[in-house]
């Protein structure tokens, strides 16, 4: 009999649940269950944004050039990793559907496939880090920026195995709805990153003053600790007994193939999108250090004010578990209610950006900036935050629909939509760079892009093609 239909006798499927929120079936589609998943997921999903925020904040006190270099190199490094991160992270949808179908023995097995994948990808990133960093010399940035960009980029990619492995392990917690545990792990990593940033950027006492390099090393070290803590929990006695988290460690080529079939389009889509945003950043960087710095600041603030990704993850979990149970109507209910929660959150975030832009922008102003430079930067930043507040509501539609489609397994259609729209966006960026478009014109183009994405993903969801989809293999019982 095919291994996909085998019974696994060494896992106790009758173990009483130690945590009803993660081992018992989720209550799907209710506002209460969505919020209970979304709140810890919001904190858990801000890991990269918070680390980038802390890096940028502390570097802004160190050097405006270092802060600008970190922002540009950070998004390029993320773009380089996202193919692998997005593929490994798709273990989340598999875990959710296996959990919904009551097939716990497959939960740990798919997480292990994502972990083996992350090790191979980490090696690839370490090898290509130095050659890829040379590309910064050809984007037209100030030479002082290029040196810092190359340094930060290489260090982040040398430690690229850690965010990929963390994405794989996060799938185990997110797919089961155990977002609180993931939140705690992320908080540990974020606090450690902040402490190491301060020690390695400024070099107090016996610590070295490494500046931009110190920020990169702190981020990699914090990510490594996050992986270690998550792995210890994954391999705990409880999870070994309930899910076979150690016994499921062998390489399963059939399951790996399924993960690649659905996960690679997800990873490629993420890479396409981030390269599109990276193209935007590179064109902004051609305008000057000041324009790039204020754009970086605005994006960092938006990443903290708008907790949308955590709500999207909650929708992915609920849609995945509903599809695993064969209940697409519950998946649709979870999606629409998740969207209503996201819209409320985005309106509150937009209100914060519009009401108090200057105090938030001022915390990033370096002490060595002249009053005239500070006034000019804040004036520009206020306008950019208004752009963000304007497009945030359609961005809620965008990410919630993406979360729902990903949970169902509609990753190929998502890839097609993103490829078409971002090809047009990058072409627009190249044309605007050629004609010397202003900073505000570039941000207007970005706003239009977000609206087009929202319309496209909403349209795909409304077709209902996702209703019959499942990423997990069929069983004899099905």
Q: What are phi and psi of 93, to 5 degrees?
A: -65, -40
Query: pTM of this prediction?
Result: 0.81
Q: What is the dihedral of CA 390, 393, 397, 400, to 10 degrees?
A: 120
Task: Give me the pLDDT at residue 23, please.
Answer: 59
Task: Give me the pLDDT at residue 45, please.
Answer: 67
Burial of 383 (0-12, 13-18, 19+ CB in 10 A): middle
Q: What are phi and psi of 122, to 5 degrees?
A: -60, -40
Between CA 442 and CA 292 the distance in angstroms is: 12
Pair of tokens at residue 137 = 């010399």
Q: Render 142-209 in DSSP notation, one character per residue.
A: -HHHHHHHHHHHHHHHHTTHHHHHHHHHHHHHHHHT-HHHHHHHHHHHHHHHHHHHHHHHH--TTS--
Pair 99, 242: CB distance under 8 Å: no
Burial of 222 (0-12, 13-18, 19+ CB in 10 A): buried
Between CA 313 and CA 374 the distance in angstroms is: 38
Task: Give me the pLDDT at residue 243, please.
Answer: 94
Burial of 30 (0-12, 13-18, 19+ CB in 10 A): middle
Residue closest to 172 by CA, chosen among 96, 81, 119, 259:
96
Total residue length of the chain: 478
Q: Angle of helix 143-158 relative to helix 105-133, nearest 10 degrees?
A: 150
Contacts of 7 (CB under 8 A, 6+ apart): none
Rg, the chain, Cα only: 22
Residue closest to 40 by CA, chosen among 178, 199, 139:
178
Instruction: Please report, for residues 100, 302, 409, 420, the alpha-carbon distance to residue 78 in angstroms, rounded to integers and kept in the order given.
Output: 32, 17, 24, 21
Task: Give me the pLDDT at residue 55, please.
Answer: 82
Task: Give me the pLDDT at residue 16, please.
Answer: 32
Between CA 386 and CA 378 the distance in angstroms is: 12
Q: What is the dihedral of CA 48, 52, 55, 59, to 10 degrees?
A: 170
Give the DSSP letter of residue 367.
T
Task: Quote the distance between the C-alpha of residue 433 and its chain's center.
Answer: 28
Between CA 402 and CA 241 the distance in angstroms is: 34
Pair 47, 190: CB distance under 8 Å: yes
Between CA 175 and CA 100 the distance in angstroms is: 9
Say which residue the tokens 């102003």 belong to: 365
Task: Give me the pLDDT at residue 46, please.
Answer: 65
340 sits in the region (left: phi over 0; alpha: psi -120 to 50; else beta) called alpha
Q: What is the pLDDT along the chain (478 residues), one digit of tens a residue?
A: 333 333 333 333 333 333 434 555 567 888 888 988 888 887 776 666 677 778 877 887 888 788 888 888 988 898 899 899 999 999 999 999 999 888 988 999 999 999 999 999 999 999 999 999 998 888 777 888 899 999 999 999 999 999 999 999 999 999 998 989 999 999 999 999 999 999 999 999 899 999 999 999 999 999 999 999 999 999 999 999 999 999 999 999 999 999 999 999 999 998 898 888 888 988 998 888 788 888 888 877 776 666 677 889 899 999 999 999 999 999 999 999 999 999 998 888 888 888 888 888 887 777 677 788 888 889 998 999 999 888 887 889 998 999 999 999 999 999 999 999 999 999 999 999 999 999 999 999 999 999 999 999 999 999 999 999 999 887 644 4
Pair 292, 72: CB distance under 8 Å: yes
Pair 364, 279: CB distance under 8 Å: no
* Angle ∠(331,391,440) on CA atoms, nearest 5: 155
């Amino acid at each position: 009999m095919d291994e996909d239909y085998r019974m696994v006798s060494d896992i106790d499927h009758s173990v009483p649940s130690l945590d009803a929120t993660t081992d018992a079936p989720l209550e799907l589609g209710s506002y209460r269950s969505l919020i209970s998943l979304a709140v810890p997921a919001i904190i858990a999903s801000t890991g990269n944004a918070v680390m980038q925020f802390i890096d940028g904040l502390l570097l802004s006190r160190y050097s405006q050039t270092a802060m600008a270099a970190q922002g540009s190199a950070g998004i390029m490094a993320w773009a380089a990793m996202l193919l692998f991160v997005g593929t490994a992270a798709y273990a989340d949808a598999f875990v959710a559907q296996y959990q919904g179908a009551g097939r716990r023995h497959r939960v740990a097995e798919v997480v292990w496939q994502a972990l083996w994948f992350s090790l191979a990808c980490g090696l690839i990133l370490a090898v290509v880090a130095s050659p890829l960093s040379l590309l910064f010399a050809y984007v037209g940035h100030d030479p002082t920026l290029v040196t810092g960009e190359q340094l930060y980029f290489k260090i982040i990619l040398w430690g690229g195995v850690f965010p990929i492995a963390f994405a794989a392990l996060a799938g185990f917690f997110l797919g089961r709805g155990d977002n609180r545990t993931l939140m705690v792990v992320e908080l540990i990593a974020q606090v450690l990153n902040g402490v190491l940033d301060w020690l390695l950027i400024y070099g107090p006492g016996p610590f070295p003053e490494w500046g931009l390099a110190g920020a990169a090393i702190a981020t990699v070290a914090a990510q490594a600790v996050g992986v270690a803590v998550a792995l210890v929990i994954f391999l705990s006695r409880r999870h070994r007994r309930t899910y076979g988290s150690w016994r499921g460690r062998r390489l399963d080529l059939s399951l790996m193939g399924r993960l690649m079939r659905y996960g690679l389009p997800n990873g490629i889509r993420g890479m396409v999108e981030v390269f599109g945003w990276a193209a935007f950043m590179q064109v902004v960087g051609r305008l000057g250090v000041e324009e790039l710095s204020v754009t970086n600041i605005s994006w960092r603030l938006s990443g903290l004010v708008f907790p949308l990704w955590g709500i999207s993850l909650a929708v992915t979990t609920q849609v995945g578990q509903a599809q695993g149970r064969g209940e697409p109507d519950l998946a649709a209910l979870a999606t629409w209610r998740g969207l209503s929660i996201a819209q409320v959150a985005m309106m509150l975030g937009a209100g914060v950006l519009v009401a108090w832009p200057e105090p938030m922008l001022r915390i990033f102003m370096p002490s060595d900036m002249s009053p005239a430079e500070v006034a000019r930067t804040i004036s520009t930043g206020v306008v950019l935050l208004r752009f963000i507040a304007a497009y945030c509501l359609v961005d809620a539609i965008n990410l919630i629909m993406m979360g729902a489609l990903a949970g169902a397994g509609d990753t190929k259609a998502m890839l097609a939509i993103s490829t078409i729209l971002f090809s047009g966006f990058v072409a627009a960026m190249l044309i605007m760079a050629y004609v010397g478009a202003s900073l505000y014109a570039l941000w207007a183009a970005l706003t239009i892009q977000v609206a087009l994405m929202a319309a496209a993903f909403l349209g795909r969801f409304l077709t209902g093609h996702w209703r019959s989809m499942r990423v997990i293999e069929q069983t004899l019982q099905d």
